[in-house]
């Protein structure tokens, strides 16, 4: 029997379904879910509230340092939804807009920002029995994670999914616009100099283009359970 349960890292591009898959995998395994992307969204949102430009690296880094203080940012799961709190305020809905998502992609490229938030992520997952999703979990945050997956899908499939999500929120943009945003974000995330989006050499690729959520979750859960044994 293992001394501790595995760390599960799920990386991949925006719109591949990482958040939904991570929640369901964590629930199926009775693991803790750590939504790392929400940390960067929360930072972008706080910068907006404070009037700090996302392009001002030094100022954004100072905000990130503040958020990295113990107890400032908290996460919990309620009704299968990850709730994010900043200074006890629930900002879960505010950080899920297109505007904040764009900001998160920008601030995540700042080296000092990643340094401040890296310690939070590692502290949350150090004991194992966790599922983390992001773009550099298996390569930077937990390069020694026992279970690594690279969840992806074609840009067209991811754009269509994103359009459906926004339509439910009353923001039905044109598919062509969303597709352009997806491709732009992929380029920005893969080309950034610090912790770029990349597949870990030992990660298992899961292409969800023609798989439903149940199939993806079952595949990952089965693999992790084989490691537990």
Can you tell me the distance from the alpha carbon of 91 to that of 36, in angstroms, rounded to the nearest whole number?
15
Q: What is the pTM of this model?
A: 0.73
Estimate to the nearest angstrom the gap between the alpha carbon of 70 and the chain centroid: 20
| Structure token digits, residue 69 | 């203080």
pLDDT, position 80:
64
CATH 3.40.50.300 fits 36-127, yes or no: yes
Q: With helix as H, strand as E and coil as C, how does 71-105 read?
A: CCEEEEEECCEEEEEECCEECCCHHHCHHHHHHHH
pLDDT, position 1:
41
pLDDT, position 77:
66
**Over the range 41-50, which residues count as b (16 or more CB within 10 Å of their CB) and which as e?**
bbbbbbbbee
pLDDT, position 15:
86
pLDDT, position 179:
94
Q: Which CATH superfamily is domain 1-31+129-229 in?
A: P-loop containing nucleotide triphosphate hydrolases (3.40.50.300)
What radius of gyration do the chain's Cα atoms show?
A: 17
Helix axis angle for 111-125 and 36-50, nearest 10°, is 130
pLDDT, position 71:
81
For CATH 3.40.50.300, the residue range(s) in the chain are 1-31+129-229, 36-127
Cβ neighbours, 10 Å, residue 149: 30
DSSP code string of 105-164: HHHTT-HHHHHHHHHHHHHHHTTS-EEEEESSIIIII-TT-SEEEEEE--HHHHHHHHHH
Can you tell me the distance from the alpha carbon of 162 to that of 166, in angstroms, rounded to the nearest whole number?
6
Q: 10-residue block means of pLDDT along the chain (229 residues)?
A: 81 90 92 85 97 97 92 76 88 93 92 87 83 91 96 95 85 87 90 84 95 96 93
């Amino acid at each position: 029997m293992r001394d501790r349960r595995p760390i599960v890292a799920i990386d991949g591009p925006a719109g591949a379904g990482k958040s939904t898959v991570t929640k369901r995998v964590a629930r199926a395994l009775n693991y803790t879910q750590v939504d790392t992307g929400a940390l960067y969204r929360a930072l972008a949102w706080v910068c907006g509230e404070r009037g700090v430009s996302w392009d001002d690296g030094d100022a954004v880094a100072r905000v990130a340092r503040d958020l990295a203080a113990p107890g400032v940012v908290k996460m919990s799961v309620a009704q299968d939804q990850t709730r994010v709190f900043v200074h006890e305020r629930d900002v879960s809905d505010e950080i899920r807009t297109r505007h904040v998502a764009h900001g998160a992609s920008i601030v995540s490229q700042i080296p000092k920002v990643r340094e401040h938030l890296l310690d939070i992520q590692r502290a949350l997952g150090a004991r194992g029995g966790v599922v983390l999703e992001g773009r550099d979990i298996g390569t930077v945050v937990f390069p020694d994670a026992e279970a690594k997956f690279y969840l992806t899908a074609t840009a067209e499939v991811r754009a269509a999914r994103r359009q459906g999500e926004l339509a439910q929120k009353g923001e039905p943009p044109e598919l062509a616009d969303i597709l352009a945003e997806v491709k732009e974000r992929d380029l920005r995330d893969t080309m950034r100099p610090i912790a770029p989006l990349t597949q870990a050499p030992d990660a298992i690729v899961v292409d969800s283009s023609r798989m439903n959520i149940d199939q993806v979750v079952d595949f990952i859960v089965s693999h992790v359970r084989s490691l537990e044994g």
